[in-house]
Structure 1
Amino acid sequence: MELAFWWLPIVVIVTLVAAIAAGWWLGRHRAGGRAIANSWRVTELPGYRKALARSGLFIGVTAVVLALVLATGTVAAARWVYTRVETPEKYNRDIVLCLDVSGSMTEYDADVIDRYLEMLPGFEGERMSLVLWNSSAVPVFPLTDDYAFVEDQLKTVRDAMKSGTGSAVYTSGTLTRPGASLVGDGLASCVMQFPGAEPSSEEPPVDDGRSRSIILATDNVVNGAPTVSLDQAAAYARDNFITVFGLDANEYRDAFAAEYEGVMSQYEFPYFPLTAEDSVDEIVDTITSEQTSKIQGAPQLYVIDRPEFWLWGLLIGVPVFLVCARRLRI
């Protein structure tokens, strides 16, 4: 506990001492009154003595109240604060939701987002990001552990997907190139959300000890010519120490599904057909059950200002002093 403006009480005390000294000096040099003959007859009266005693007591009470009001006001103005240093602990887990928002995928994407909204209250320091893509990718928000913000963004996208209206919420910016469901480009864009994974970097991939996961939800029905193939994007993810959880929304066991499963198997990434029961739940549970250690965040200084006690003192003391001053005709 300490005073934020520690010098303020010193200023108040010096000012009070100066005011008292000035008052005493002026009182000594003030012209005296005239003596009244036989005034002792009045001062010896019992009623006078009682009135004088009451007046002295009231002056004393008023002085005490004024002192308390000044002290309380001084402390309130000087800000009585509590300080503490905390070193936050966070789980070293990063998760990117990498969702194909082509027309055939929005229903499945909404299920994935729903599951993550259920998991948010149990998160503690995990960082999340959301990337929506079709022929081009749009990062909705970068990796962050601001869960209130994450929840608001996920609900906005989920509600737009479920309502069937307002598709611009989740498709804006995802169709800037010819084609649709360019999976390799979408996955590569999601990989770039992780620190140190920029393809232009000349430094080797960064292994910062954090668990890195991508949930890739797509039907892999590519329509067009992607810049990066799914195989190349998967290799890019592996080279940056990222685990891709493949969620296949293709309802048919065709060549697209075979390619998707084959690439995931080649790089030893988990693969889940969306037709399998509880596939979304299994992916999320697998990620969140990974053994992760806590990391120490940067120490943070908290300064807590608690003026309530002193303000309540002023709220009570000032009216009491005003009543006393009124009675004394100050």
Structure 2
Amino acid sequence: MMNAFAWHWPWLLAIGLIAALAAAAVSFFLSGRARRGSAQAPVFDLEQDFNTEYTSGMLRQWRWYNRVAAVALAAALILSVSLAARPSQVGSDEERAGSRDIVLCLDVSPSMLAYDHAVLETYQRLVAQFKGERIGLSIFNSTSRTLFPLTDDYDMASSQIKYASDVLGKVSDQDKIDKMDAKTSQDFSDLIEGTQNRKDMTSLIGDGLVSCAAMLPGFTYGSNGRGSSESGGPTEQRPKSIVLATDNVSGKSTYTLKEALDLTSKAKIGVDGLYSGAQTSKNDKTTLDMKRQIESHGGTFSSAGTGPQAIDAIVESIEKHKARSQDQARKASMLDTPGWWTLALALAVCIWISMTWKLKR
């Protein structure tokens, strides 16, 4: 929507006009002095020396070309100053933050190995639906490891997810593990390296969630080892989400799931849960408790496996969080509109060049 015309730098236009008027005044003053000084002496001009019909016509044509060239040059100068003052129109548009930060958070504990391959395929399909978002992937067991940080390089992200999916797909059941060759064993070891640094601990969901949240702007660890959230500044303008895939089999962690969700909520990070364990356990008390806690913090919890319903639910939740976080206020903005001014300047310059060429002939 476009509104009234305006000058972005009106002071520059005023300076140009004042300079032009000053130059015209000086020129008029000097020409007046020249006429007064020459009034006492006889004046001879070309019309007297070449008082013929042909030469008189050529002289009139020359003077006409000269006047047109002068007018075109003056117009070009005025238009140049006008363009320098940036002709603009005041537009009113609804400004929206078009991008989001999304961390994919995956439990790689032994109880999840049978499902991680399918979860990563779900993540792959999620990435295919993103446009303009930054995404990152972190895996955790007793400790966490970042596979790739926040990025909008979807080719790289897809290749990393596919690689992890392929590796974990080769250890998705005991039969595959028994038949695993040395290369697969090394690839698997390299992939999960750094996720089992606490002895006799596994699937620490609260700690894993906090580690994933730490990948997002606006969330930091406190100096006392606990977590803290930061608010204010431009980071709040970018919606932030975490997609947490786990089977909710948790050991004794530094952060409980509730504490982790409290911290992410304070940092305005939306958390959506994707239950990825055995379907026979989706109605267990621990799973239902996880569902209740995530939903009470504004997220969605899907126990529909890794099918289209789960993806649709996660995408819908991310969109809702985006809508809540975006600044949808209508703001006025100055939009440069040099179009017709540029065309007029080009026309004036062309006329001046044409007249100058004729004068030289």
* TM-score between the two structures when normalised by the length of structure 2: 0.60
- Is it true that 1:54 corresponds to 2:61 in the alignment? yes
Q: Is the 8 A contact 1:248 1:257 kept in 2?
A: no
* Residues 96 and 130 in structure 1, CA contact (< 8 A), matched pair in contact too: yes
Q: Structure 1 residues 102 and 310 mapped into 2: Cα distance closer, same or farther (>3 Å)? A: farther
Residue deviations 1:164-195 (CA, integer Å, cap 9, x gap): 59989x96996483355422311344567697
Task: Specify the alignment match of 1:115 in structure 2.
Answer: 125
When residues 16 and 265 of structure 1 are mapped into structure 2, their CA distance, relative to the original with a 3 A threshold, is closer
* Residue aligning to 1:325: 356
Aligned to 2:275: 248
Check whether the contact 1:273–1:279 (CA below 8 A) recurs between aligned residues. Answer: yes
The one-letter amino acid of 1:136's match is: S
Shift of 1:320: 3.1
TM-superposed CA distance for 1:281, in Å, is 2.7
Are positions 1:183 and 2:213 aligned together?
A: no
Query: What are the equivalent positions in structure 2 for 1:30-45 lying under 5 Å apart?
Result: 30=34, 32=38, 34-35=42-43, 42-43=50-51, 45=52
RMSD across aligned positions (CA): 5.0
User: Offset of 1:285 from its aligned partner?
Assistant: 5.8
**8 Å Cα contact 1:234-1:267 kept in structure 2:** yes
Give the counterpart of 1:233 among 236, 240, 257: 257
Cα distance, 1:257–1:42 mapped onto 2, change above 3 Å? same
- Partners of 2:126 and 2:311 within 8 A in 1: no
8 A Cα contact 1:76 1:311, kept in partner: yes
2: CA distance, partners of 1:10 / 1:268: 61
Match of 2:313 in 1: 283
Match for residue 31 of structure 2? 27
* 2:72 partner SS: helix
Post-superposition offset of 1:253? 5.0
The runs of 5 or more residues in structure 2 that have no matched partner are 168-186, 230-235, 296-300
Shift of 1:12: 2.6
In the superposition, the TM-score normalised over structure 1's length comes to 0.65
Q: Does 1:272 align with 2:303?
A: yes
How many correspondences in the alignment?
Answer: 301
Per-residue deviation at 1:70? 1.4
CA distance in 2, matches of 1:262, 1:175: 26
Match of 1:307 among 334, 338, 348: 338
Residue equivalent to 2:9: 5
Provide the rounded CA distance (Å) in 1 between the counterparts of 2:320 and 2:357. Answer: 73
Indicate conservation of the 8 Å contact 1:220/1:257, yes or no. no
Conserved in 2, the CA contact under 8 Å of 1:97 and 1:130? yes
- Alpha-carbon contact 1:234-1:263 (below 8 Å) kept: no
Check the 8 A contact 2:246/2:275 in 1, yes or no. yes
Provide the C-alpha distance between the structure 2 equivalents of 1:94 and 1:216, rounded to a whole number of angstroms: 14
Following the alignment from structure 1 to structure 2, what is the Cα–Cα distance between the partners of residues 267 and 41? 105
Q: Is the 8 A contact 2:16 2:81 kept in 1?
A: yes
Q: Is the 8 A contact 2:16 2:78 kept in 1?
A: no
Number of the residue aligned with 2:75: 68
- Assess if the C-alpha contact under 8 Å between 1:81 and 1:305 holds in 2: yes
Q: Report how far residue 69 of structure 1 moved.
A: 0.9
- In structure 1, stretches of 5+ residues that fail to align are 142-148, 203-207
Identical aligned residues as a percent: 20
Q: CA deviation at 1:217?
A: 0.8
Task: Tell me which protein shows more helix as a share of its residues.
Answer: 2
Give the match's secondary structure for 2:130.
helix
Say whether residues 1:161 and 2:161 are aligned partners: yes
